Amino acid sequence: MSDPITESYSTLDSERDGPVLRIWFDRPAKLNAIDSVVLREVGDLFLTLDKEFDAQVVVLGGKGRSFSAGADRKPAPDPDAPTTTRGKRWHSHLGRRACRAIEDCAIPTVARVQGHAIGGGMCFAVSCDFRITTPETMWYLPEVELAVPLTWAAIPRLIGEIGMARTRQLVMMAHRIDGETAERWNVAHECVPADELDDAVARWTDRLVDLPELAIHMTKTTFRGYNRLPSLGDVSETDADLIALAQQHPDWAERFQM
């Protein structure tokens, strides 16, 4: 049933099924492409979920044919975009902040991934604790092809999930993989036929709900602590500056804005 938690958001929808809270990207006509409004709303929403004490699992999915096809290359103007120098830098960190909010959510998270997990969409999915996908889903990080570095702290997150070698292949080579390969490489935890996706997600959420809630919560907190070890040298603090610099190069205008 519909849940009021997303009433004040324009790009997200939600529904609650007992202890399972489903958050949906709600831009199906654009394949759930990501603009600054999406980034701000995802970050804001996930920061509030620590107080959703009735929810034991959060499922993040995309309405329509796609989980998320990545950046919206023709976004509408953002009326809330800051105009000061420091505000603009804060605005450039929205993606990193949104992924960190998903990753730090106190409630276990499951990504329901179909169609596309491209660019920022893949970053969102990898920020979840568990990822269930379909064979035909395209997982793809096109940033280098588009003449920008991959930011949002996605590289250290991927290294932690799948290792340095595969991360290098996905990021530096902009290597596309399908859902079955994603499962083999540990990008996804399970790959099932499209008509079985919801049943598979339900198996994972049911298992998480059946386990002792406090033990799950404390264990996730432990994992979150270990994930902080690389932050002693976390160069993603400068992600916004890398983006700003890359956007000054003519390659960016040629490739990203084509």
Three-state secondary-structure class, residue 87: helix
Distance, in Å, from the CA atom of 180 to the CA atom of 178, rounded to the nearest integer, reads 6
Any bridge partners for residue 2, and if so which? 15
Q: What pTM, to 2 d.p., does this model score?
A: 0.90
Three-state secondary-structure class, residue 140: strand
The pLDDT value recorded for residue 22 is 98
Low-confidence ranges of the chain (pLDDT < 70): 1-2, 229-240, 252, 256-258
Distance, in Å, from the CA atom of 138 to the CA atom of 115, rounded to the nearest integer, reads 6
Distance, in Å, from the CA atom of 101 to the CA atom of 110, rounded to the nearest integer, reads 14
The pLDDT value recorded for residue 253 is 75
Q: Enumerate the domain spans of the chain.
A: 4-195+225-255
Strands 190-191 and 130-133, by their bridges, are parallel
**Among the CATH numbers 3.60.90.10, 3.50.50.60, 3.90.226.10, 3.40.50.880, which is that of 4-195+225-255?**
3.90.226.10
The pLDDT value recorded for residue 234 is 66
